[in-house]
Structure 1
Amino acid sequence: MFVLARSLGFKISLEGTLFRTKMPHIKRGLTEISAFDELLQAEVKQAKKIQTQKLKRRKLEDTNSLIKKKGIKTLRDEKGFKLRAIESSKDGNKKKQEDPEYEVSIEGDLRIVKPYYFTYKTFCKQRWRERKLLDIFVTEFRDRKESYYKKCIDEGFVFIDDQVANIDTIVHDGNLITHKIHRHEPPVMATPINIIREDDDILVINKPSGVPVHPTGRYRFNSVTKILEKQLGYTVHPCNRLDKLTSGLMFLAKTPKGADIMGDQLKAREVSKEYIARVVGEFPKGEITVENPLRTYDPRVALNKVCDINEDSAKHSKTVFQCISFDGQTSIVRCKPLTGRQHQIRVHLQYIGFPIANDPIYSNVSIWGSTLGKNGEANFQEISEKLHEIGKTKSIQSWFYRDIKGEVLSEEKCPECDTELCSKPDPTELTLWLHAFKYASKLDLDSTVNTNECGLKNWSYQTPYPEWALEGHRKFTEQLQSSTDENYHSLLVHKDKILSETSVKLRSLQINPIDNMINDYLRKAGKDILPEGCTIYSTSVDPIITSKEIQKYQSNIIAIVVRTDKYRGTLIPDSSEHLLDKIIQVPDLVH
């Protein structure tokens, strides 16, 4: 299916699993474990050690006494969260960043924040240390030209630790940079943020694509936390982070206890994650495991790459993939990351030759060429330079969307601040076909999380499938007759072709209708097994649960699609857990 670099020692097994043939193994007693598992265990051990120390501190001293003991006066919000210290005076008191008033409008699919004045304050980041101030502004805040920043600095609008700066000022560790700016936030998608569950400590949401999680770079009020703050009237803090373009499950803490409990589970790898992606081409059948270290090549454009584990900042990474369906152009793939690196799923998919089909970074033909960076074969310096032009002179493109007239610098200027304005983005460039579908706890006896206190033991959350993951199924679900208490309809499909179907009255059945449909196909086709990669479409889940033939041929069935009037959460009981990963709900479209 695909050729892999021999020098890296990879191959495809008969079962379709990608693995490292030269990966060293370490013996522990009578058991051998891989180098990846050794690194992962060390990471988990360190996380649990930190958790244990934190729990001990909590038992010995409450937060207020600890602050008093250290002689630190810390500002907290009404929920007890520490406020970010962005300004310190000589007497040690700290002040929080004050947000200005702002206006929001909805224009089509976009959420627009009208320009506003904002005093931007930030401490020196590690990558800014010992660099000239002007260089930092030009390379890190690329929405403005160098001439704009020169003018601001020369006119005294930029301060370093309350002192007026100049263009040659060197920024050091600990410096506070202050800059008053007329801010133009880029638009984001106006999709509502759906709340999946809420209790006293945690808020679980379905994050829309195209919205950053928290204020960052050019974004502030067009971020998930600020949008929710405006909606709910209080601040929430992210426990897990998704890329701006990624949609799906997010956990936000309402209290410090909620932040600690959920954060501890994530750090200790006590949470299983499942994502859904839509990728280029026909993804191989079976389970595909990619175990390649990753590192960030250029943080300014969020470019990441597969690397050798011995390279600086390399992090061990592992993702398991499985194909769900293929529509003739693209495949829907289930992705299970065992680690949580930046762009891990996106880079691993690109590396094996199946990038996300609308990925503006990793499936952009104009940047990577026809091979789309498969096997990591690319001049990354050139790739980085091309990505720096995106949003300036070139708009975002991808393998699927090659002719987008998206966001670029226009010839218009703001009459207030004279900055060059950008055209509005196309909604398609604010969407990535990667969705955090399901998160579940996997607590064990060694867990340091106090599950009784937080009530999170054996929790599991999932969202509906995003519409882009259901498009290939709708032509078949629309052929299904509407389900009633009496009527039942199902289809057996393979590679876009209906092999068999049944339409019956449930009360007249003597045998399971799905079993009858499968056996009818096998008899007419003269076969004794279903072809690999079949999909079953059904108007009810009950025959699926009781079907003996589904259980018999489940390795050859990649998906079981149930048409419902609306999304209903988990459809099957615990006794049918073997079907859990195969069930896809396709709710009827609301017209």
Structure 2
Amino acid sequence: MQYTVKAADSGKTVKLLITELLQPSSKMLKYLKYREDGILLNGSRVTVRATVREGDLLTLSLLDPQDAQGPEAVDLPLTILYEDGDLVVPSKSGNMPTHPSRDHYRDTVANALAYRYRNDATPFVFRPVNRLDRETSGLLLVARNKLAAGRLTKSMQAGEIHKTYLAVLSGDCLADEGEINLPLHRSAASIIVREVCSPDAPDAEPSRTRYRVLARRDGYALVEAKPLTGRTHQLRVHFASLGCPIVGDTLYGTADPRIGRQALHARSLSFPHPSGGERLTLTAPLPDDFSNLIGALFPDLKGAFDEP
């Protein structure tokens, strides 16, 4: 596929432009990134971070139709909080991946939705607007067609999609409320780990998190967090960098026997509907493991968040 960059696209990153043009699956994007001739700009290989200018020629080596097949349909339990012809909002459990990867082919949200829509007239394409780490529970916004995906992506870029998380922190080091404004980048030692960096670092990504402490007890804190930017591992790194990592987060903190994952839950999601623009606000009940942890650490709040 070849695309000549228009004036309206000038200044965008290659990743953003590809997203707007194709709404690619994670599999397709990964294929483009690692294939030698996957992404060419004016005939030269570039990364998805490259910036395009009017008149540039973007060439993409797309997947063969056989390789571009959607996720396998697998009958998995998945709670659906909202659904119509344009979108679906599932609430996933902790330890359920969002999309297939090398070690998780058949146990993801994408597999469950492929099964749910297996009898649709058109083949299922997984189009998540937001993503959650495997160990994070809660709400996902998934578009059901290309038009809705494009409109929701633009809403995300315009800051019109609001997300609220609940997290249990190990350490009581925060003011009652505030905003964390610390840029992040990928650690030089790992392709997975993110870390706080200098604003002057060449790969620094501005990252902002607003939070409010809901409860404190015996060195733990229950917080409501609203990411104002959407960086990888943003909440996990921001809280850990201040000395109060999320309970059970083995990457940025330590394991906790009371919960077999990080205590992070995507609690609510508010967004304009892609058809009509009316605002929808949805709230996910806590999964049992998160509810039990709150009951153990904050007895006065036991059951307080079990219902939306």
> Which ranges of structure 1 fall in alignment gaps of 5 or more residues?
1-44, 55-62, 64-73, 75-80, 87-120, 130-172, 177-189, 365-397, 403-427, 444-450, 477-494, 497-534, 536-560, 564-583
| Distance in structure 1 (CA, Å) of the matches to 2:128 and 2:189 | 21
The answer as to whether partners of 1:322 and 1:334 remain within 8 angstroms in 2 is yes
Mapping of residues 92-241 of structure 1, within 5 Å: 122-123=31-32, 125=34, 192-233=77-118, 234-241=124-131
Letter in 2 for 1:330: Y
Q: Would you tell me which structure has more helix in proportion to its own residues?
A: 1
The answer as to whether partners of 1:298 and 1:304 remain within 8 angstroms in 2 is no
| Distance in structure 2 (CA, Å) of the matches to 1:128 and 1:312 | 25
Letter in 1 for 2:268: K
CA RMSD in angstroms comes to 4.0
Mapping of residues 510-521 of structure 1, within 5 Å: none
Matched, 1:464 2:285: yes
Please state whether the residue corresponding to 2:81 is helix, strand or coil: strand
In structure 2, the residue matched to 1:454 is: 275
* Closer, same or farther: CA 401–474 of 1 in aligned 2, 3 Å: closer
The answer as to whether partners of 1:124 and 1:174 remain within 8 angstroms in 2 is no
Match of 2:265 among 435, 439, 450: 435
The answer as to whether partners of 1:323 and 1:333 remain within 8 angstroms in 2 is yes
Identity of aligned residues (%): 25
* Closer, same or farther: CA 279–82 of 1 in aligned 2, 3 Å: closer
Q: Deviations over 1:398-436 (max 9, x none)?
A: 2x249xxxxxxxxxxxxxxxxxxxxxxxxx55x221111
In structure 1, the residue matched to 2:147 is: 257
| Distance in structure 2 (CA, Å) of the matches to 1:310 and 1:195 | 43
Q: Deviations over 1:158-182 (max 9, x none)?
A: xxxxxxxxxxxxxxx9699xxxxxx
Letter in 1 for 2:214: I
Please state whether the residue corresponding to 2:279 is helix, strand or coil: coil
| Distance in structure 1 (CA, Å) of the matches to 2:222 and 2:205 | 27
* Closer, same or farther: CA 472–174 of 1 in aligned 2, 3 Å: closer
- CA offset at residue 286 of structure 1? 1.4
The answer as to whether partners of 1:211 and 1:245 remain within 8 angstroms in 2 is yes
In structure 1, the residue matched to 2:3 is: none
The structure having more radius of gyration, on CA atoms, is: 1
Please state whether the residue corresponding to 1:277 is helix, strand or coil: strand
* Closer, same or farther: CA 240–294 of 1 in aligned 2, 3 Å: same
In structure 2, the residue matched to 1:287 is: 177
In structure 2, the residue matched to 1:363 is: 253
* Closer, same or farther: CA 46–287 of 1 in aligned 2, 3 Å: farther
Please state whether the residue corresponding to 1:258 is helix, strand or coil: helix
In structure 2, the residue matched to 1:247 is: 137
The answer as to whether partners of 1:283 and 1:354 remain within 8 angstroms in 2 is yes
Match of 1:338 among 192, 208, 228: 228
The answer as to whether partners of 2:99 and 2:108 remain within 8 angstroms in 1 is yes
Q: Deviations over 1:165-216 (max 9, x none)?
A: xxxxxxxx9699xxxxxxxxxxxxx983100000011000102211221122
Return structure 1 stretches of 4+ with deviation > 4 angstroms. Answer: 81-86, 126-129, 173-176, 298-301, 472-476
> Which ranges of structure 2 fall in alignment gaps of 5 or more residues?
1-10, 39-59, 64-74, 119-123
TM-score, scaled relative to structure 1: 0.38
Q: Deviations over 1:96-144 (max 9, x none)?
A: xxxxxxxxxxxxxxxxxxxxxxxxx945528999xxxxxxxxxxxxxxx
Please state whether the residue corresponding to 1:222 is helix, strand or coil: coil
In structure 2, the residue matched to 1:95 is: none
- CA offset at residue 279 of structure 1? 0.9
- CA offset at residue 313 of structure 1? 1.2
| Distance in structure 2 (CA, Å) of the matches to 1:435 and 1:268 | 24
Letter in 2 for 1:205: P
Letter in 1 for 2:267: F
Greater relative contact order (CA < 8 Å, ≥ 6 in sequence): 2
